[in-house]
Amino acid sequence: MAAIEQREAASGRPISGSGLSMRTKRLLWVWSFLAVPILFYTIIRFYPTFQAFYLSLTNWDLVRPPKLVWFANYIKLYKDPQFWKVFRNTFLYLIVGTPISLVLAFAIAYFLDRVRFMHNFIRALYFLPFLTTAAAMAWVWRWFYQPPPIGIINDVLALIGIPQQPFIRSTNQALYSIMVTAIWAGLGFQIIIFMAGLRAIPNTFYEAARIDGLGEWAILRKITLPLLKPTTVFLVVFSSIGFLRIFDQVYNMTTNDPGGPLGSTKPLVLMIYQTAFNSYAMGYAAAQTVVLFTILLIVSLLQLFILREKK
């Protein structure tokens, strides 16, 4: 029977009575499986992508039809001091947040991997924040950062004799205070991925190194870190993309003056949101989304490039 099936499939001609060949029948199944998804991806993903590029070249306020202005939005963006401030903020989140969270995550994963006593429990403590709702936890952190006697962090600082800090009320500290929230939320995921990466390194490498008399530190530097490189690169990119798209925390921790104080915490996505849905400057907002897309694309391509080069 199987042989007949195979011959049918190979020759493409029906052997038994039905009008269609096995291959045609199977193709009909394939395209009926794919019909709705192809429609979905075309209408909900590809068409809007091209539309975003097109809208970025127009002047459009939702009321009158879009008017083509070519690169005027990009030129405006280039000349907009607010954009450069937002650009700087966004990269601050990325450049400070990514290394701190990765070093922390690796250190925790490295030691947690060796812990047996209450391993699952401790892992759960670290992982749980990853599953929480950012919009909800932003309010918890906002409460933590309040001045005394409400804010817990200031209360604890007072206990150890450190003067009260303004945190999210200060233009210098607000961005870092929000960044802590984002690092806290993402750490658990990175720890789990690092631990998976550590487990994937074959024990024979470690055994060989011990026979050669390498110490813990040398093993970490010469074996663990190099073999962990694909994991690290993946996490650098994943975390960078997360920081470049930061929104929920900033929006919820600065509702009085979104992105404040004085725009000191405003990331690109919040600027896009305000330009599009507060000012209804849709074309200008679309240009900002294209800039975001370009930055994210460069980060992803860098990942591919780094991984390919060193393999």
Partner 1 sequence: MSDTALSPPLYKANIRPGRIIAWTLLFIGGLMMISPLAFMFSTSFKTPDQVYDLRLIPAAPTLANYIAVLADGRFMRWFFNSMLVATIVTVSNCFFDSLVGYTLAKFEFRGRYFIFLAILSTLMIPTEMLVIPWYLMSSQLGWLDSYWGIMFPGMMTAFGTFLMKQFFETVPNDFIEAARVDGLNEFQIWWKVALPLVTPALSALAIFTFLGNWTAFFWPLIVTTSKELYTLPVGLSSFAVEQQIQWEMIMTGAAIATIPTLIVFIVLQRYIVRGVMLAGLKG
> Site residues for partner 1, window 268-287 (CB under 8 A)?
269, 272-273, 276-277, 282, 285-286
In the complex, the smallest distance separating the C-beta of residue 158 from partner 1, rounded to whole angstroms, is 11
Q: Does 15 bind partner 1 (CB under 8 A)?
A: no
Q: Does 255 bind partner 1 (CB under 8 A)?
A: yes
> Site residues for partner 1, window 288-307 (CB under 8 A)?
289-290, 292-293, 296-297, 300
Q: Which long-range CB contacts under 8 A does 168-176 form with residues at least 24 apart? A: 168/142, 168/253, 168/254, 168/261, 168/265, 169/261, 170/261, 171/261, 171/262, 171/264, 172/264, 174/254, 174/260, 174/261, 174/264, 174/265, 175/89, 175/92, 175/93, 175/264, 175/265, 176/96
Q: Does 245 bind partner 1 (CB under 8 A)?
A: yes
* Candidates 23-31, 83-91, 168-176, 302-310; binding stretch for partner 1 (CB under 8 A): 23-31
> Site residues for partner 1, window 89-108 (CB under 8 A)?
108
Helices marked H in 245-310: 248-253, 268-277, 282-309
How far CA 116 is from CA of 107, 119, 122, in Å, comes to 16, 5, 10
In the complex, the smallest distance separating the C-beta of residue 257 from partner 1, rounded to whole angstroms, is 12
Tokens standing for 124? 């759960």
Integer Cα distance of 138 and 97 in angstroms: 17
Residue 40 or 78: which CB sits closer to partner 1? 40
How far CA 172 is from CA of 89, 105, 167, 169, 178, in Å, comes to 11, 26, 8, 9, 12
* Candidates 10-18, 77-85, 95-103, 198-206; binding stretch for partner 1 (CB under 8 A): 198-206
Residue 137 or 306: which CB sits closer to partner 1? 137
* Residue from 12, 13, 33, 257 in contact with partner 1 (CB under 8 A): 33
* Residue from 69, 96, 113, 214 in contact with partner 1 (CB under 8 A): 113
* Residue from 10, 11, 47, 304 in contact with partner 1 (CB under 8 A): 47
Site pattern 120..149 for partner 1 (x: CB under 8 A): x-xxxxxxxx-xxxxxxx-xxx-xx----x
Q: Does 13 bind partner 1 (CB under 8 A)?
A: no
Site pattern 202..221 for partner 1 (x: CB under 8 A): -x------------------
Residue 88 or 119: which CB sits closer to partner 1? 119
Integer Cα distance of 86 and 80 in angstroms: 10
* Residue from 64, 70, 81, 114 in contact with partner 1 (CB under 8 A): 114
Longest dimension (CA), the chain: 90
* Residue from 71, 84, 111, 305 in contact with partner 1 (CB under 8 A): 111
Backbone φ and ψ for 73, nearest 5 degrees, come out as -65, -40
* Candidates 70-78, 88-96, 167-175, 186-194; binding stretch for partner 1 (CB under 8 A): 186-194
The amino acid sitting at 190 is Q
Counting Cα atoms < 13 Å in the Cβ hemisphere of 119 gives 10
Residue 93, H or E segment: helix 81-112
